[in-house]
Amino acid sequence: MPENILQLLKGKAGFISGQEISDSLGITRAAVWKKIKKLRNKGFIIIATPSKGYKLINSPDLSKEEIEIQVQGDLWKNIIFYQSVDSTNEIAMLSSAKNDTESGTIIIADRQEKGKGRLGRTWISPPGLNIYMSIILRPEIEPKDATLLTVLTSIACALALRGISGLKVVIKWPNDLMVSEKKLGGILTEVRSEPERIKTAVIGIGINVNIENKDFPAEIRDIATSIKNETGKYLSRSEIIIRILKEFEAWFNVFKSKGSRPLLEKWKQLSSTLGKNVKVAIGDSTVSGLARDIDEEGMLILELKSGSLRKISAGDVTILR
């Protein structure tokens, strides 16, 4: 990617002259001014003095530009930002079904009108506060290994959130991000498959960042939390997204070179479910037991009271005390 005006501004602690920007980017002073105006419109605060030039004072907490200059790798190709969408996963599934979206495209929205949870449930998605994003990938893997993408994503999110907030974020099987036994985030992976191969995978990530407890709907207030709630601090959503994408790419490379084993090991370390007595709701029935392990695809292995083992592929887990 060629050098970018935001990169130049961020690279200087003090002022950078219009001439310097113009020389570095090979554009006219008038074009420089236009670009500055564009950034200001997006919420960047840039002061300009005729003698010294430009200085970046503050960045918006969520911006495509900021993420773009930080996330440049082999995996990530394209970031599409929306102010408001029905659901980032829905947009990602629609555009990838038409085959015109590159693998490595990331869709980010400030707000979702119909944030998607599992099986038609909603994900609370007010504007200006949280992260709603979907990653489009077309990995060369078999449908049965698609669950490893969920394993990978939950590892990437847990590690990124631990690093940036200092919170002890853990993973509740299969893919809830938890802190203090409350839900901080969730992952909803949707895959389109032909019998033998995955055509496209969309990994939706929702993270409660700066939302206050009082702003959650009453029915989830006791079971949901945010980074702001837990730490008392506002965090930049761009910084978190950048960190997640970097962790994701690192673990994706591990998966490609070494297979699923290191992922499963890491997942077990970060899990809050294994070793606990749990209740799993599967459709209309429930089953209780000790969460023993996960298998090579990430399925939960439950030890029932009778001592027999049962493999669980889907269900809502409650940890019993």
Taking the complex as a whole, the smallest distance from the CB of residue 168 to another protein amounts, in Å, to: 22
Nearer Cβ to another protein, position 309 or 314?
314
255 Cβ contact list (under 8 Å, min separation 6): 148, 152, 262, 263
Report the C-alpha gap between 127 and 48 in whole angstroms. 30
**In contact, 179 and 230? CB cutoff 8 Å:** yes
Taking the complex as a whole, the smallest distance from the CB of residue 93 to another protein amounts, in Å, to: 8
- Mark residues 167-206: x for contact with another protein by CB under 8 A, - for none: ------xxx-----------xxxxxxxxxx--x-------
Nearer Cβ to another protein, position 1 or 119?
119
Report the C-alpha gap between 183 and 226 in whole angstroms. 8
- 142 counts as binding another protein under rule CB under 8 A: yes
DSSP characters for 188-221? EEEEEE-SSSEEEEEEEEEE--S--GGGS-GGGT
Taking the complex as a whole, the smallest distance from the CB of residue 10 to another protein amounts, in Å, to: 37
Among 20, 293, 297, 303, binds another protein (CB under 8 A): 297
- 296 counts as binding another protein under rule CB under 8 A: no
Q: Which of 263, 316, 256 is nearest to 288 (CA)?
A: 316
- 13 counts as binding another protein under rule CB under 8 A: no
- 318 counts as binding another protein under rule CB under 8 A: no
| Helix (H/G/I), strand (E/B), else coil: 171 | strand
Taking the complex as a whole, the smallest distance from the CB of residue 206 to another protein amounts, in Å, to: 12
- 286 counts as binding another protein under rule CB under 8 A: no
**In contact, 151 and 263? CB cutoff 8 Å:** yes
Interface with another protein in residues 98-137 (CB under 8 A): 118-120
- 223 counts as binding another protein under rule CB under 8 A: no
116 Cβ contact list (under 8 Å, min separation 6): 87, 89, 90, 122, 123, 188, 204
- 80 counts as binding another protein under rule CB under 8 A: no
Segment near another protein (CB under 8 A), from 21-29, 46-54, 229-237, 309-317? 309-317
Instruction: Identify residue 177 by its one-letter amino acid code.
Output: L
Taking the complex as a whole, the smallest distance from the CB of residue 199 to another protein amounts, in Å, to: 7
- 289 counts as binding another protein under rule CB under 8 A: no
H helices of the chain, in order, are 5-11, 18-25, 29-41, 64-70, 88-97, 147-165, 227-231, 237-258, 261-270
Which residues would be at the binding site for another protein (CB under 8 A)? 118-120, 142-144, 146-147, 149-151, 173-175, 187-196, 199, 282-283, 297-299, 311, 313-314
